[in-house]
Every structure is written in structure tokens, then in C-alpha cells.
Amino acid sequence: MKVIASTRNDDLKRLNEIYKVLKKNDFGYLIEENTFFRKFPFLRNYKIEKEDNFSDESVPLRIRKVLEELGPAYIKLGQMLSTRPDLVGLEIAEELQQLRDNTPITPFDEIKEVIEEELGKPMEDIYSDIDQNPLGSASIGQVFKAQLKRNGEEVAIKVQKPNSREIIESDIKIMKFLAKRIDKYISSSKTFNLPTIVNEFERSILKEINYLEEVMNMQNLSKNFKNVNYIKIPNVYIDYCSEKIITMELIKGITVTELIEGDYPHINKRLIANYGLKSYFKQIMIDGYFHADPHPGNLIVTRDNKLCYIDMGMMGILSEDFKENLAEFMLLLISGNTDNIIKQLIYMNIISPSQNTPELRADINDLLNLYYGAELKNMDGAMEDLLNAMVKNNVVLPNEFVMIGRGIALIEDTGKKLDPNFNAATELKKLSRKIVVNKYKPERLAKVSLNYLLQLEHLAKDLPDTINSTISKLEEGNIEVKLKHEGIGHLINQLSISLILSSLIIGSSLALITDVGPDLFDFPILGLIGFVFSGVLGAYLVLINVIER
């Protein structure tokens, strides 16, 4: 059965496709609970009536299957959620890490049309010797090897698949519709805050499908590493780039994944692990501009033994204050003081004072006891364990903090696989100390003091106008006080029914006293009907209260 009978509109057709996939994986009720099925329950498929089944052990697996089957936008959503256990829970996040991108390869003729439309020239006028078999293929784009016709340089061309933006924008529109209604009508889904998840995904994916954002990221990262001779960032050929195409330097070498799994005696694995560690901590702690997904498949060891970052569609950005606070936090984590760690988390607005619960403190204490007294080389993984402890206590973390935690965990895991003696904590401690010391240098204090003086100056200028405006409103009686009443609508409904019930009882009593009209068992029928109706209404009111409690 279709959710909506008419499928002329593409969005409605897509909604019907989504319903079929959900129904196939026992999630049909997510739509049935908030479309016309809600008005006509006899049309529902009761076999899949599972509103309270989000705790079912099969749910993570079924969610992954749904996302894989629904295509590129949903696969991207799943990949984002795999990094956000604070939003979906550890079990679902871990399952989504196994997402497989089964999107078929787009025929080269269609890719050629995109290239020529975007660059405004025949493809043969720009590239020569283009290999029509893609070097790589993902849900949104494909990468091809070619040569630039103007100078013969070997390049990699990243091309967005046709209609990717239109499909994703349509799917996001449907995601928003479903998320809002599921959150409203299905109580067990409120834990996940689906509208927030979709909004965060929308911001992320719209940046990712604009390839000019990635071009800018590559240029910025290249600038930050211009004086680091062991890191390589591909050059981009800006004349042959657009929102749907990136033409970049072809990097020859092997991925770190291949290095981990294979035997390459000519490559110093310990050195590569150290390159990854130092370069990533530089991005986070010094530059405040870092690769959001440094997994080993996005790191290439070049033929001259440099480490190259690729796939820079998403980057994290940290303010100067956040970097300094993060450095202090890292030192506190290594030193192992629960009170100071929690105070720092509150100061950084990562948790609120109300989230400073005994349970959270106990979990952090247990974590620190596990690492307490350990050598720094045995403290790898502490950051990831801390994030998991906060997730367990229902703390929704800032996206940047999650990205940092996940990035550090990936670098630690990769480092351990390359070098059993890999030690991330020592380098992190050294960098954090350097940043904290720099925070109190005279030039830094002078800069901060100047910023505060400017803020005080603006405040002093605005204060008289603010005071005059407030006094004027008081004199004119224009001060408004807004009160928010939680649950008052429900209370008013109950009060209204109670008043109607009281009126019926009084009216029925008067009808019995006046003895007007036909009788039944020596009582006026009008009064008896009133009492019967009052009894039914009263029973309904009591039943509703019992159910809600």
C-alpha cells in the first residue's frame, strides 16, 4: 500500500520509496504513526507495530540496512551519525561504521557531460589520456586519472555524479518532514532529537557537495604546512575547478591502510606514525584547522616517504580561546583530577552545570582510576573513553569536540598498528604545555587586554542609551514580562471537562427535583439521562488520568 496515492510529484514518489524500504525493515510504523494511517488505523500493518521497540537488539543492524538501501544522502547521513554516539548511542554508531557504499558507478559518458558543462569546453581541450575507469568511486563523486593538455602533468579529476545536489536536496526536504513528525508523534524517538540531527546533517552535506569548499580547504591546509617538509597536500589547478569538479595533483604512493596490511620494508612505519601524530596535533592545537576524518584510507605515503592528506571535504575549525582551553583540558586529563576536569568541561560549555551529576563524576572517576599511575605511553585511548563516559550520561557534545575526540582516536589506532611502541600522550602533553605557556606571554596578554578594553569601551558607550530606553519603557508602561507555562494546555482541557461534568450533575439534579417530563422507575428521564452521561464523562476523565500517570 502506498503512503500517498498520487505520485506525480517527485518528492511524493521518493516518500513512497522510503516507506517501502522502512516497511521492509520493520520500521514502517515510523511513517504510519504520522501520516493518514494515524486517522485510519484499520489500514495499518499491525505486523510491524513496534513503537516501543527502539531498544530491540536488531535495531542498529536494521537502521544500517535502511540507510544503505536508500542511497547517497542516507549513506552520508549514516557516516555522519557513526561519528556521533552522543546523538544515537554507542551501539548504533558502531554499527553505522560498517556502512557499505553500494552506489553504482556512473557511466563515463554522463561524467563527460558534467565536465564539459562545468568547465565550458570540450573535455579533449583540457585533458588528454583520461582513464575512463575511475580510481575511486563514492556515493557522490568519482575520481579519474588524466593529463593536463597544456603541460602534460598527471592529475586526478574528482567529478560529482549527475543530479547529486538535486537528489540530496530532495532527500533532505523529506528527512526534515519525517523527522519533525516522528519526533512529534513517536515518544520513543525523542531520545534521538531527529530534527537536530537532520539540521546538522544538512549543514555538513551542503558544504561537502560544493567542491569549491574542498578546494579552499586544500589551499588553507597547504598554507599551514608550507614549512613542514614531511607533509604533502595536493596542488589544485583552480582554472579547472568548479562546484562539481576538482582538478588536483595526482599523488603516487600507497595508502596507510595498505601500509598497515602489507609488507613494505623500504618504508619506516614508525616514522610515518610519528608524522601522522605530529601533523594532526599541529592542526588541532596550533592551527585550529583540522582534517575531520583522518582515517588511514585518507592518508597516502608518497614515493619520497612524505605523508599526504586527501579528501578534505570536511574540516574542523577552532577559535583561539577554544584551543587554549583544550590545551588546559588535555593537561588536566593527563594529570587525572576529576573535579578540575569537570570544571574545565563546564567552562568550555561542553557540559552544563546541571549535567554535572553524581553518575557522570563516578564514571569519570572510574576512568581516571583506570589510567592513574600509568605511564604516558599507556594512556592512549583516554580521550575516547572520556567521550564514551559522557555519552553514557546523555551529554550531547559540541560537534567540534566530537570531531577532535574521534580524530585523536583514529590517529592513536593507526599509530599503534604501524608501531607497537607508539605514544601519543607524550606529544600531546608537550604541545599542550607549550600552548598554555604561550597563553601567559606578555604579547598575548597585551592582545587579550586590548580586546577587553575595546569591549568595555563599547559597553560604556551603549550603557546610557540602554538605561534611558529602559526608564522610558517603565514610564510608559511598556515593559513586558513573558511567562512560559509547561503543560498548561493539558490542565485547561481537564478543567474544562470538569466544569462541564459539574454542570451536567447540577442540571440533572435540578431535573430530578422539578419532576418534569416522562418518568422511568419513578424518576424523570431527562435527569436520568444527564446522570448517565455524567457518569460516562467522569469515568473517561479518571481513565485518561490513570493512563497518563
- Per-residue pLDDT reduced to its tens digit, 151-182: 889 999 999 999 888 888 888 988 888 888 87
**Comparison of pLDDT for 428 and 64, the residue scoring more:** 64
Check whether 513 has a pLDDT greater than 70: no
Closest by CA to 398, choosing from 333, 330, 326, is 326
Dihedrals phi, psi of 373, to nearest 5 degrees: 85, -5
Domain spans, the chain: 7-101+174-181, 103-173+182-250, 253-440, 487-548
User: How far is CA 177 from its chain centroid?
Assistant: 18
Percent of the chain with pLDDT over 90: 27
For residues 229 and 62, what is the distance between their CA atoms, to the nearest angstrom? Answer: 46
| Predicted local confidence at residue 423, as pLDDT | 81
**Comparison of pLDDT for 7 and 66, the residue scoring more:** 66
Cβ atoms of residues 340 and 332 within 8 Å:
yes
Average pLDDT, integer, range 317-331: 86
The residue written with cell numbers 548504533 in the block is 92
Cβ atoms of residues 121 and 109 within 8 Å:
no
| Predicted local confidence at residue 494, as pLDDT | 62
For residues 84 and 402, what is the distance between their CA atoms, to the nearest angstrom? Answer: 7
Q: How confident is the model at residue 437 (pLDDT cuts 50, 70, 90)?
A: confident
Check whether 6 has a pLDDT greater than 90: no
| Predicted local confidence at residue 225, as pLDDT | 96
Select the highest-mean-pLDDT range: 45-49, 312-316, 473-477. Answer: 312-316
Q: Which range has the worst mean pLDDT, 255-269, 305-319, 442-456, 457-471?
A: 442-456
Q: How confident is the model at residue 7 (pLDDT cuts 50, 70, 90)?
A: very low
> Whole-model pTM?
0.72
State the DSSP string of 361-413: HHHHHHHHHHHTT--GGG-TTHHHHHHHHHHHTTPPPPHHHHHHHHHHHHHHH
pLDDT tens digits, 240-279: 999 999 999 999 999 999 999 988 989 999 999 999 999 9
pLDDT tens digits, 29-68: 666 655 544 444 444 454 444 444 444 667 888 888 888 8
Give the right CATH number for 103-173+182-250 from 3.40.640.10, 3.30.200.20, 1.10.3720.10, 3.30.2350.10. Answer: 3.30.200.20
| Predicted local confidence at residue 51, as pLDDT | 44
**Comparison of pLDDT for 323 and 10, the residue scoring more:** 323
